[in-house]
Amino acid sequence: MTRVAFQGELGAFSELAARQQFADAQLLPCNDFESAAAALSSRAVDYAVLPVENSLAGVVQGTRAILQDDRFSTIVELWLPIHHCVLALSSSSLSELRTVLSHPVALAQCTNWLRAHPTIAALEWYDTAGAAKHVADTKDVTRAAIAARVAAERYGLAVLAENIEDRSDNRTRFAVLALR
């Protein structure tokens, strides 16, 4: 069976990209880009899927050095439409929210929504789905995550707002890496 590493928790956009390329693969969630690259380097996985750039936020910081590492080769690039949702406990409401957590690149894609909700502070988190998992675990009605709809389903959260990205044609380019 094909093994694929990606940055983030299950429910992350990187998981969706990995599943788009490798539908039946065994996936290895990694906390950061370096851990996904290390899993590939050590042959714990056959491939790593990393975000490269977003149409709204630009280059994804942290992946450039990995992509330039001569041990790795980009075998496929794919584009994934990115639609962000505000995810919270089912007992939460937008008016109660005080903090929203997400990956910095995701927050940069939702600046208009964040500006329109000045009472909600944006907090950077290591991953979109990781933020959703944290919100579910803490059970704090004043916290929410910006993540994919699939993360709401995975972690039992409600979608309080959807398609909050600054433009509807938002998308991210992902690289599928293999060892040379």
User: What letter represents residue 166's amino acid?
Assistant: D
Mind giving me the DSSP string for 16-62?
HHHHHH-TTPEEEEESSHHHHHHHHHTTSSSEEEEEEEETTTEE-TT
| Residue 172 bears catalytic tag | yes
Write down the H helix ranges in the chain. 13-21, 33-41, 64-68, 104-108, 111-116, 128-138, 149-155
| Residue 174 bears catalytic tag | yes
Catalytic site residue from 6, 22, 33, 172: 172
Catalytic site residue from 13, 33, 72, 174: 174
Q: Which residues are catalytic?
A: 172, 174
